[in-house]
């Protein structure tokens, strides 16, 4: 049996939140359904943030109500306790909460200091344990901040330990602006795995400098088996200057499958999801491997 690597497609949230074209909830549900049909075991379906701040995420409660049934692990991003309460009321069973590694990023992103953000994270995790809700705690700007520059690894290691001690289901180490290179990923993730083990860690990479897949590879080599990726490479944080698309789901799947891992994802169906994302947004180039995958489908290899 091939070893399993789990991919959480964040396209319906991270992929759409920074698009100039705002999709209706029903269109977002179409994209989620296409991802589920492709075999994605986990999908981030939206976020419970102020629609004034992020108009593209309005109506996430409607999306949660209309999600395809089955065993897919659905999550939604929340910025604070109010977002958590809205998510739980909508029926979400897993939430993601983000705390940046730097003071300035937290102030720009959630208008809180790092200390306030960590206190809020602790409160939400404590409540989530009472409610039976999974909490995915993100350490954003884990390698570099657009405002403060390079981040010291010790800061990320300390925050990760604190989040795990709080009881986070998993800590997701995020390269928010796509600045990390594979050597940096290997160094930090190796240190984190050595200290905390790989089971409760995940990675989230952007492809700003074309190194997203290489960064996934570096993390895989250190034992990480949970990754975020975005259909067609859609993505970008509206509050992080320079953040372009996430590493493309199709690129990650192609690499992992050819390395002998099992992702459980059907590539022809995944290409259909890329095509739908392109049709809906008008702004989806697809991953680096997309042309090759299409040729394999045409030849009947896939």
Which string of DSSP letters, residue by residue, matches the chain? -PPB-EEEE-IIIIITTT-SSPPPHHHHHHHHHHHHHTT-SEEEEEE-S-TTT-GGGTTHHHHHHTPPPSS-EEEEEESSHHHHHHHHHHT-SEEEEEEESSHHHHHHHHSS-HHHHHHHHHHHHHHHHHHT-EEEEEEESSSEETTTEEPPHHHHHHHHHHHHHHT-SEEEEEETTS---HHHHHHHHHHHHHHH-STTEEEEEB-TTS-HHHHHHHHHHTT--EEEEBGGG----TTSTT--PBPBHHHHHHHHHHTT-B----HHHHHHHHHHHHHHHS-----TTHHHHHHHHHTT--
Is residue 284 annotated as a catalytic residue, yes or no? no
Burial of 175 (0-12, 13-18, 19+ CB in 10 A): buried
> Which one is catalytic: 121, 145, 203, 237?
237
Which residues fall within 8 angstroms of residue 291, CB to CB, at 6 or more apart?
Answer: none
Q: Which two tokens stand for residue 94?
A: 């897993």
Please answer whether residues 78 and 124 qualify as being in contact, where contact means their C-beta atoms are separated by less than 8 angstroms: yes
Contact at 8 Å (CB) between 237 and 204?
Answer: no
Q: Which amino acids are annotated catalytic?
A: 237
């Amino acid at each position: 049996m091939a070893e399993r690597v789990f991919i959480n497609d964040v396209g319906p949230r991270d992929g759409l939140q920074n698009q100039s074209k705002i999709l209706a909830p029903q269109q977002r549900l179409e994209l989620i359904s296409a991802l589920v049909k492709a075999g994605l075991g986990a999908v981030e379906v939206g976020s419970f943030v102020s629609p004034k701040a992020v108009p593209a995420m309005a109506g996430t409660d409607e999306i949660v109500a209309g999600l395809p049934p089955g065993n897919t692990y659905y999550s939604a991003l929340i910025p604070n306790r109010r977002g958590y309460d809205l998510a739980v009321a909508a029926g979400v069973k897993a939430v993601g909460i983000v705390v940046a590694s730097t003071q300035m990023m937290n102030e720009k992103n959630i208008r809180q200091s790092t200390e306030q953000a960590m206190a809020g994270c602790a409160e939400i995790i404590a409540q989530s344990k009472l409610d039976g809700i999974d909490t995915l705690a993100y350490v954003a700007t884990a390698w570099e901040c657009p405002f403060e520059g390079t981040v010291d690894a010790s800061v990320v290691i300390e925050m990760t330990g604190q989040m795990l001690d709080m009881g986070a289901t998993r800590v997701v180490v995020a390269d928010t602006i796509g600045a990390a290179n594979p050597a940096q990923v290997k160094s930090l993730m190796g240190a984190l795995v050595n200290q905390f083990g790989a089971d409760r860690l995940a990675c989230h990479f952007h492809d700003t400098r074309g190194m997203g897949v290489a960064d996934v590879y570096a993390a895989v080599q250190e034992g990480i088996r949970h990754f975020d990726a975005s259909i067609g490479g859609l993505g970008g944080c509206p509050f992080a200057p320079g953040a372009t698309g996430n590493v493309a789901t199709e690129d990650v799947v192609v690499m992992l499958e050819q390395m002998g891992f099992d992702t459980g994802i059907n590539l022809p169906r995944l290409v259909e999801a890329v095509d739908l994302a392109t049709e809906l947004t008008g702004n989806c180039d697809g991953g680096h491997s997309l042309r090759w995958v299409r040729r394999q489908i045409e030849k009947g290899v896939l």
